A = this chain, B = another copy of it.
């Protein structure tokens, strides 16, 4: 009964507000238009011709320019993973079913030139590098490039009524992928080199993401062995994360559809490609999955501005919606957190591996 009403909500938000395509603006909106037509209704849009004046748009295509300009920077943050999937759900072992963990990348601090080679030589090295750190990294680690972009998006700052809380840079290759998640920020996302491919779902679709709690783990890369291993956090910390991989392999497809029917059988996610020189307004609380196509050098470079979101009636409605349990009588599956499954799988894993993480810390 409740399920039908939730499914109707998915349709209605598309019918009354979102439509079926993300609007494309040929020029930047006025602050009032941005606020009225997009921020207030919590609706994404792509904006062209808003960053043409950034020197970055021509300068950053030159690797020598980047190397020279950042040669005096002490170091930048490099995220390393075996496959390009960071902050994603990864099997902890070969058990069936495998206990999944929320795996964060191994993070190194390196001079920019070394870090960039790691990104460009990811395939050869069998470890995938992604230059990023979502802690305002552009304004700290990349200060040398500050003159090449604007410190904020002026028309967006005026609309939001504040300056960005963080400015981040993302330098990746074709393997870098960000799994489905949402941020408690308003996001202005500008692509400088290459292309970014987003899958977007509105906050109303929260049940389709199968957000469940997963134990946090970190990749550790060993220079000696040239291997990654996954290390569970001790004490165990659970991270609520979206369970859906929207691009399962052909072999995994059937299983994925059976496991996450609300995602695969529900309304199609919005698909948008943001090209070099374009900006995406990605509204707060929207679920997004990101892949990329690099430029001829094999690099995708993007800048994003995080602005504080308003915790208003939309946020209250979202929390209410999320607190309701979508239950499928057919396969006896809840769409939400299933702590017990995760807990059982994890406990078995710890026993088999003879790991010294006390039970009590599992039960928080």
Q: Which A residues lie at the B interface, using CB under 8 A?
A: 2, 5-6, 8-9, 12-13, 16-17, 31-33, 35-37, 39-43, 158-161, 202-204, 310-321, 323-324
Contact = CB atoms under 8 A, between A and B. Distances in A.
Main secondary structure of the interface of A (DSSP, over half): helix
Contacts of A161: 32-33, 36-37
Given A32-B32, A35-B36, A36-B161, A12 B312 contact: no
B312 A40 contact: yes
A323 B159 contact: no
A22 B316 CA distance: 18
A210 to B, nearest CB: 20
Contacts of A159: 32, 36
A40 B39 contact: yes
Contact of A317 (B9, B31, B36): B9
A8 B319 CA distance: 10
A310 B41 contact: yes
Contacts of A313: 13, 17, 41-43, 202-204, 314
A317 B312 contact: no
Contact of A5 (B41, B160, B324): B324
Contacts of A35: 32, 35-36, 40
Nearest to A322: B5
A92 B337 CA distance: 52
Contact of A12 (B37, B43, B158, B316): B316
A204 B320 CA distance: 10
The 7 closest A-B pairs by CB, nearest first: A41-B312, A40-B40, A317-B317, A13-B316, A9-B320, A16-B311, A12-B316
